[in-house]
């Protein structure tokens, strides 16, 4: 097999330029355009580090994923093309902060194509970055978003239980939580019946099948001895694997964007069920006299899309 030494040298030199450029600046902005159109921006400015990933499709539907840390706290948020928060979480775990910073530095080294590095030393942050460059502000917005989502989910479940007609307010909230062009892709579904599909029918068909997975844990609920702290429903790993395969077979820009959102950006986890022994009956002095087995959800990481 012939070895292209010229290409190897070029990649090595380009990698060295990117890393050296970033290291020469105390504050910098590194922008990378991936072959599939994704845009990544890595920013370090006055002790705060962040990464922004923007994905879009041929229908001009755009999503933005932002991760930010001040060295002590960590927050990540997903925005739609109107800059509304779709999902978010904030953490105070030191290991999560360190994991993000290590990955941030590793990505700077690995990213060697279509990269531009700009110095932000003695400069203000770009106008489009400045509004979200505050951890406390983002945390407050995240809290408000979770509160609104919980309220919406309660209204949807109450509506389903009572079979009453949706109010205009509930409809507006539910529609906002559904992927554009679909009836089944989102926190809930807005399809009048099982046979109804949105304009992105191939993608919607995959979401419909995934929505009907019988082994699931709805957002902000407890099942199989596990509490799901996210607004998205968590499904059995078999269902998520089937969902990924369905989107891959659809092979449309919309299906691929939903796949990237679900598996790469939101990084939804799945679960498997394992038997767990528990005490079903105790004697009056506390000794267990009868044991039974129940199903325990064990959380797993999904494969990337």
- Residues annotated catalytic, as ranges: 210, 240
Q: In what order do the strands lie in the sheet with 28-33?
A: 85-91, 74-79, 62-69, 48-56, 39-45, 28-33, 115-119
Bridging pattern class, strands 222-223 and 216-217: unpaired
Backbone angles phi, psi at 16, to 5 degrees: -65, -35
Beta-bridged to residue 32, according to DSSP, are: 40, 115
What is the C-alpha end-to-end distance of the chain, expressed in Å?
31
Count the Cβ atoms, other than its own, within 10 Å of residue 158: 11
The count of residues in the chain is 305
Bridging pattern class, strands 222-223 and 74-79: unpaired
> b/e string for 51-79 if b means 16 or more Cβ within 10 A?
bbbbbbbeeebbbbbbbbbbeebbbbbbb
CA dist 246 and 133 (Å) reads 38
Contact between 108 and 115 (Cβ < 8 Å) = no
CA dist 124 and 245 (Å) reads 45
CA dist 254 and 261 (Å) reads 11
């Amino acid at each position: 097999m012939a070895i292209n030494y010229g290409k190897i040298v070029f990649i090595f030199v380009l990698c060295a330029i990117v890393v050296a450029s970033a290291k020469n600046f105390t504050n910098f902005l590194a922008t990378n355009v991936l072959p599939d159109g994704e845009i990544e921006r890595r920013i370090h400015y006055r002790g705060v580090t962040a990464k922004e990933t923007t994905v879009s499709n041929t229908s001009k539907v755009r999503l933005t994923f932002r991760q930010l840390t001040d060295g002590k706290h960590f927050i990540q948020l997903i925005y739609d093309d109107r800059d509304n928060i779709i999902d978010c979480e904030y953490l105070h775990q030191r290991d999560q902060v360190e994991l993000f910073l290590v990955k941030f530095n590793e990505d700077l080294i690995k990213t060697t194509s279509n990269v531009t590095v700009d110095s932000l030393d003695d400069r203000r942050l770009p106008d489009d970055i400045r509004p979200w460059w505050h951890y406390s502000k983002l945390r407050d917005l995240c809290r408000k978003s979770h509160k609104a989502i919980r309220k919406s989910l309660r209204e949807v479940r109450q509506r389903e239980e009572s079979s009453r007609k949706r109010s205009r307010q509930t409809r507006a909230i539910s529609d906002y939580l559904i992927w554009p062009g679909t009836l089944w892709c989102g926190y809930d579904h807005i399809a009048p019946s099982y046979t109804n599909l949105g304009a992105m029918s191939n993608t919607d068909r995959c979401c419909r099948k995934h929505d009907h997975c019988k082994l699931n844990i709805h957002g902000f609920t407890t099942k199989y001895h596990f509490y799901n702290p996210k607004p998205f429903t968590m499904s059995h790993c078999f269902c998520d694997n089937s969902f990924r395969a369905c989107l891959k077979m659809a092979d449309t820009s919309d299906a691929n964007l939903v796949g990237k959102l679900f598996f790469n950006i939101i990084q939804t986890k799945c679960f498997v069920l394992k038997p767990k022994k528990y005490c079903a009956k105790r004697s009056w002095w506390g000794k267990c006299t009868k044991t039974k087995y129940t199903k325990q959800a064990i959380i797993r990481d999904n494969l990337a899309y």
